[in-house]
Amino acid sequence: MPEYLKEILGIVHGYGEGFFGLMLWTLIWTVVKIVILLAPVLFMVTYITLAERKVIGFMQVRFGPNRVGFWGILQPLADAVKLLFKELLLPEKVDKSVFFLAPALTLVPALVAWAVIPFSPGIVLADINIGILYILAISSMGVYGIIMAGWGSNNRFSFLGGLRSAAQMVSYEVSMGFTLIPVVLLSGSLNLTDVVNAQKGVWFVVPLLPMFVIYFISVVAETNRSPFDLPEAEAELVAGFITEYSAMSSGLFFMGEYANMILVSFMGSILFLGGWLPPVAMLSFIPGIFWLAFKAMFLLFVFLWIRATFPRYRYDQLMRLGWKVFLPISLFWIFLTGLCMHLLGMA
Amino acid sequence: MATDIVFYFFSLITVFAAVGVIASRNQVHSVLFLVLTFFNTAGLFVLLEAELLAALLVIVYMGAVAILFLFVVMMLDVQFEELRQGAIQHLPMGIFVGVMILAELIVILSGVHLDHHAVEVTAKVSNTLAIGQVMFTKYLLPFEIASLILLVALIGAVVLTLRKRTGVKRQNISKQLARTRDEAVELVKVTSGEGAKP
């Protein structure tokens, strides 16, 4: 952080503490930091929808949205306004509390998890020792929103979609968790900043390439993206657990999905692609936060690329892939990583 | 001061959710209250600076166990009102379990606890490292035995639920590929006027 910024921050802290008192000011300052962190995330959530439509349009030789604003640049705002002003329908005999809690419970974990993401050295909201476990814990909460939506809607299609999604997310959480263990072994820490610092010599994607591939496929399944978007397979289940939701309550589900996509892209960049480290030392004049954002953008692009390329998996194929292919490979790779580290005298 | 406020916040929600588990009429609501209890207990663990336990509680209990509860409760459609009819005859057992837990809590709170087994966690060593160090040195044998018990439970569940359905014409690719000409083709001499016999 540059010196003048530190000085300005010191002055702001001095005034704040004098005006509000230490305790209240700490609270206010934390809220300010959370807003500074989440505003860009929500901005990205809005604009990834446009990016998705543009990229898929390009891949299918179409234009994508190009009417609202120059090059369709205002389309996400038009969509948001549309969603906000639509009527919120409440179907009969739904479980009201569960029905309205579900969309919020999908979006909130996707935003809460950002607390431990380090953007560059020292720029992190909560630099906790168990960052990776925290992310795993928070992302395991995301499934409740979907299963509650499925059950609370009092609709068979929704219920089937919710059940599918719950089974899918729990299964892929297992293989995703196992791909993170070699990373933890190599870096010797659960702290995300330490994980990035451990990649100064070589990015973990090089020794752990199969783990990176499995991680990426698992998070595609975990975020219910195509080709694993079985929960909302529209040909069989109408729209799955979203069927009964209207207006902004369905919008929250989509926001949660996109926020999760961005989150796992940043996680993938931090865990395997060296976080804020530049690929060669020569390029280190570009600030680290741009490198991290660039890597995450690339992974996000791959998400969209996959969606435009692959047909949807069948449900039994999905389960077989998770349990019978990914799980043994990642277990074996944990063993192999440990063995190599032992033989090379790293541990 | 601030910690106290957070403590009472988590505790109040924990107690409220725990009451909700047994008081709510809808069984799915009960499980969701249980999840809320787990989550707030994890919050209490964080206040005790046991962040590893908090994370594990959320990952294991919220992320896996409670989901399975939710699955079972949603699918089975148990009529809890009928179950409640005969609930009074389980009262002695319930009182017994309750008294046991109360007695254990009193024993712990009165200071007769296993303090000499505790490992000192200094500020320098994170509690993940501290737990790992004692778990894989001092308590290695109990740890391995626990893992074996879990393995037995795992295999037992598979054995209990695995069933081979007969009469299902499922495609078995390796069986198909293993066929040889001798098993698959039979040459029959067909006499004219009678046709091939099966």
B26 confidence band (pLDDT: 50, 70, 90): confident
> What are the tens digits of pLDDT across the range A224-266?
887 888 766 666 777 778 888 888 888 888 888 899 899 999 9
Would you call A190 and B58 a contact, using CB atoms and an 8 Å cutoff?
no
Is a pLDDT exceeding 60 seen at residue B121?
Answer: no
Residue A190 contacts B where some CB pair is shorter than 8 Å: yes
Collect all residues with Cβ–Cβ distance below 8 Å to A45 and sequence separation of at least 6.
A255, A258, A259, A262
Q: CB atoms < 10 A from the CB of A110, how many?
A: 26
Residues A267-283 have a mean pLDDT of 85
Amino acid type, A307: R
Nearest to A130 among B51, B67, B70 (CB): B51
Q: What's the pLDDT score for residue B147?
A: 93
Of the listed ranges A104-108, B34-38, B85-89, the least confidently predicted one is B85-89
Q: What is the pLDDT of residue A334?
A: 92
* Mean pLDDT calculated for residue range A150-157: 83
- pLDDT at residue B156 tops 90: yes
| A221-225, A234-238, B126-130: segment of lowest average pLDDT | A234-238
pLDDT at A216 over 80: yes
Longest dimension (CA), chain A: 65
Q: Does A184 touch chain B (CB under 8 A)?
A: no
Confidence of residue A298 (pLDDT cuts 50, 70, 90): very high
Task: Specify the pLDDT at position B37.
Answer: 92
- Residue B81 pLDDT: 66
Rounded to the nearest angstrom, the minimum Cα separation between A50 and chain B is: 32
Q: What single-letter DSSP state applies at residue B155?
A: H
Burial class (CB in 10 A: 0-12, 13-18, 19+), B30: middle
The whole-number pLDDT of residue B117 equals 57
Report pLDDT for B69.
84
pLDDT at A278 over 70: yes
More confident call, A284 vs A107: A107
A120 DSSP β-pair partners? A123
Alpha helices in A21-130 (DSSP H): 22-59, 75-85, 96-112
Quick one: what percent of chain A has pLDDT higher than 90? 11
Provide the chain B residues 56-75 that lie in CB contact (below 8 A) with chain A: 56, 58-59, 62-64, 67, 70-71, 74-75
For residue range A106-140, what is the model confidence (pLDDT) as tens digits? 889 888 888 888 888 877 888 888 888 888 888 88
| pLDDT score at B146 | 93
A99 near B CB under 8 A? no
**pLDDT at residue B114 greater than cutoff 60:** no
Q: What is the CATH number of domain B1-78?
A: 1.20.120.1200
Mean pLDDT calculated for residue range A33-39: 88
Q: Where is pLDDT greater, at A312 or A269?
A: A269
| Model pLDDT, residue A248 | 83
CB contact under 8 A, A130 and B55: yes
A200 contact partners, CB below 8 Å, separation of at least 6: A277
B59 vs A137, A151, A190: nearest CB? A137
| B77 vs B174, residue with greater confidence | B174
Q: Does residue A1 have a pLDDT over 70?
A: no
Instruction: Choose between A296 and B132: higher pLDDT.
Output: A296
Alpha helices in chain B (DSSP H): 2-23, 27-47, 51-56, 66-76, 80-85, 91-109, 127-135, 140-161, 173-177, 181-184
Exposure string over A131-166, b if 16+ CB within 10 A, otherwise e: bbbbbbbbbbbbbbbbbbbbbbbbbebbbbbbbbbb
pLDDT at residue A282 above 90?
no
ipTM of the complex: 0.81
Q: What's the pLDDT at B125?
A: 66
The residue that leads in pLDDT, B127 or B31, is B31
Give the separation between CA A255 and CA A104, rounded to whole angstroms: 10
Report chain A's mean pLDDT, rounded to a whole number: 85
**pTM of this prediction?**
0.83
Please provide the average confidence, as pLDDT, over all residues in chain B.
83
pLDDT over 70 (residue B113): no
* Cα separations in angstroms, B159 against A223, B13, B76: 33, 40, 22
Task: Give the highest mean pLDDT range of A125-129, B75-79, B154-158.
Answer: B154-158
The alpha-carbon gap from B137 to the nearest alpha carbon of chain A, in Å, equals: 16
pLDDT of residue B83: 67
Report residue A283's pLDDT band, with 50, 70 and 90 as the boundaries.
confident
**The pLDDT of residue B98:** 92
Pick A23's closest partner by Cβ from B2, B59, B128: B2
- As a 3-state breakdown, chain A gives helix, strand, coil percent values, each rounded to 5, of 75, 0, 25
Q: Are A275 and A196 in contact (CB under 8 A)?
A: yes
pLDDT-wise least confident of A152-166, B26-40, B91-105: A152-166
Which pLDDT score is estimated for B15?
A: 93
Contact A133 B56 (CB under 8 A): yes
pLDDT at site B118: 59
The band of A284, judged by pLDDT with boundaries at 50, 70 and 90, is confident
